[in-house]
Structure formats: structure tokens, C-alpha cells
Amino acid sequence: MAESPSASPTANAKFANFTAPMTGDQTFELFGRPAKYTVVYFYPKDNTPGCTTEAIAFRDRYPEFETVNTAIYGVSRDSLKSHENFKAKLGLPFELISDPDETVCNQFDVMKMKNMYGKKVRGVERSTFVFDADGRIVKEWRGVKVSDHVDEVLEFVKSQP
């Protein structure tokens, strides 16, 4: 399963390697990825309006991410079965990481208390991290608003040398 990071995520920090189960009967491993950049985005739940909109935006811009050698992975606490269905329903060209025990979410410090319909609930704070090929965080966004976020991530990786 996941390994503990040496420090909490911070821009320019080297992140500890970790593995996690993902769709396509594969295992995600941060290090050793062939891409120049790796985008790991955290979202609350499959098949909800905001999460569907965000996944579709990453799907639609995916060819542009590929042209700048950038891989994309989504992470939520949903099961692999839920992820497989969500991925198939939306035609996502990238894999989704399943984190039902919140191991990866806790490593990235994305579990937060949220207010949902007047009740306090613990949930995933929508967040995105960009890693370089050495596993160093080069950019992070927390408390993401879905509108225009994917464009912002794409512009960032395009602007890198």
C-alpha cells in the first residue's frame, strides 16, 4: 500500500514514493513514471456534478496534456468498481486511483472538515498536484473551484521548460 511521505506536500518538496490500486487492474507508483509531469487530482466522489464536470474537463483537454508529456490521475475514496464504472461512463482516457482507507488522501493532507447542507462532514478537499519526473511537487492547488481549473493546470505545465 502507500508509504509515508517524508514531509507534507509543499511546492518544490520531494515527495515520498507511494503505490495505490487504480483502474485497469493496475497499480499507481509515483516514481518511475515515463511522463515529464504527473498531475494527481483529488476529488470527493464519482458521479457527483462537480466531480463529473472536472473529470470531463481533464478528459477533453487530455490530448493537449499528452503533447506536453503530462500524465493525469484522479484520486477519490471510491472503490475500484465505482471508478471503473465512472471511467467507462465518461470515456476517461486516464486511470483513477482508489483510496477507500484514505491513506493517499492523508499523505496529501486533503481530508478536511466541510459544511454540507448545514452539517459538518469530513471529506476530500478538491486539490491538484503537479509532480516532475523526480517526484518533486512543482505546483499545487487546494480548495479548487472546478470552473477553468483544468485550463489553469494545462497552462502551468505548458509554461514549464
Which residues are marked as active site? 51
Whether the CB-CB separation of 142 and 53 falls below 8 Å is answered with: no
- List own/partner pairs for 129-132 with CB under 8 A and 24 or more apart: 129/9, 129/39, 129/40, 129/41, 130/37, 130/38, 130/39, 130/70, 130/156, 130/157, 131/15, 131/30, 131/37, 131/38, 131/39, 131/40, 132/36, 132/37
What's 95's DSSP letter?
E
